[in-house]
Structure 1
């Protein structure tokens, strides 16, 4: 692990996080009053961005795939802001995460001479999409198709690291979301029928899966 690499990544992440609320406002000009968290603090999101980027740099090191993960993470920070503010995952932002990840991993595959690894990553994205479609269609499911599309975008970098990482990255969000929901219920911040964003849990679960891959 390079201290310089991690520091540089943290600074880039802080910049992305600090600008995330202003970018998010273009997609969520009117926050949803039912959303549980006011999400516009630039300083708070700067810290989140720094931690997320630094964690990825520490986990992956000078891997040719690191830029792809940082591209996905940058889009993910903005997506988290939007979803917390208005319970939406806009297609342009999800598309940016997916296309940025695919392009970055394509370059990494060429640089490393491992095209087969990219094929596994694409299979991971397809599997993530199919699995979350099934979950979204289950009776009583609270997953939206924005969550389904985000799961597919995250399945690509998770699949790049292997099937076990993909599995952890797809299961962990549900555990994290469950803990958050129980805490909010215990604090009487929400009711059982309150709509809550799932995008941040998807992003956090994928990030943790990468860190411990």
Structure 2
């Protein structure tokens, strides 16, 4: 096992995880509203905190520098996921693509959990960038995947989610449809079996969590449940344990 790529990936995951809480907060607004420019208590963000990258904290709250993000959890989760991907992938060019996706996927999961939406400002550029980077990785001799298959998988899974959206618009958001090709790209890079496993795992996770919420009385059959986190978790887990 190559130790240095794993350590470097963990460092990248820690740094990117520390920088994503502000973006998650600013993007976590209902559809059609401008990006958040105040803390949860309504204090306007200071000029130095209006960018997209950095911790989510408010100097005007009762406790100076009060953080309203998720504390160290995003950084820890990002570090562990990046290190795991480095260990599973090895020193191959596609690892750079997976590491670049981690902070984007984590931000999307946090936003979807908070406001049940997957912003186009992340999903659409993520697809274009992932496809382009995998195309570049495919030109290098040490890659271990297929760019053509990745694109075909993105198209196939995108069509599947679109059909599910047409059949049951109340059960499948259009943001999920737009996210699906991005999740399918890395799965298709490795094979159709990986695509099937990752896609099925997303629906299985959603079903298990939904059933658990019903049985514990924390939700009803009409309660909304964000599906994006299940897609992202299943995709990441499939990459880790393929």
TM-score normalised to the size of structure 2? 0.79
Aligned-residue CA RMSD (Å): 2.2
Q: Which residue of 1 aligns with 2:72?
A: 43
Q: What is the number of residues matched between the two proteins?
A: 206
Q: CA offset at residue 91 of structure 1?
A: 0.6
Q: Which residue of 1 aligns with 2:178?
A: 149
2:26 counterpart SS class:
coil
1:174 matched to 2:198: no
Q: Which residue of 1 aligns with 2:11?
A: 11
**Gaps (5+ residues) in structure 1?**
32-38
Q: Which residue of 1 aligns with 2:47?
A: none
Q: Deviations over 1:130-185 (max 9, x none)?
A: 01111112247511111011111111111111111011111100111112112222
Rounded Cα–Cα distance in structure 1 between residues aligned with 2:220 and 2:129: 37
- Pick from 52, 55, 76: which aligns with 2:84? 55
Conserved? CA contact 1:17–1:42, under 8 Å: no
1:193 counterpart SS class:
coil
Q: Which residue of 1 aligns with 2:44?
A: none
Q: CA offset at residue 18 of structure 1?
A: 2.4
Q: Which residue of 2 aligns with 1:26?
A: 26
1:198 matched to 2:227: yes
Change beyond 3 A, Cα 1:146–1:139: closer
Conserved? CA contact 1:19–1:42, under 8 Å: no
Conserved? CA contact 1:14–1:50, under 8 Å: yes
Larger RCO, structures 1/2 (Cα 8 Å, 6+ apart) = 1
TM-score normalised to the size of structure 1? 0.89
Query: Once structures 1 and 2 are overlaid, which stretch shifts more, 74-83 or 98-107?
Result: 98-107
Show the 5 A alignment for 1:114-193.
Answer: 117-139=146-168, 142-193=171-222
Change beyond 3 A, Cα 1:178–1:102: same
Rounded Cα–Cα distance in structure 2 between residues aligned with 1:195 and 1:29: 16
Q: CA offset at residue 113 of structure 1?
A: 8.2
Q: Which residue of 1 aligns with 2:120?
A: 91
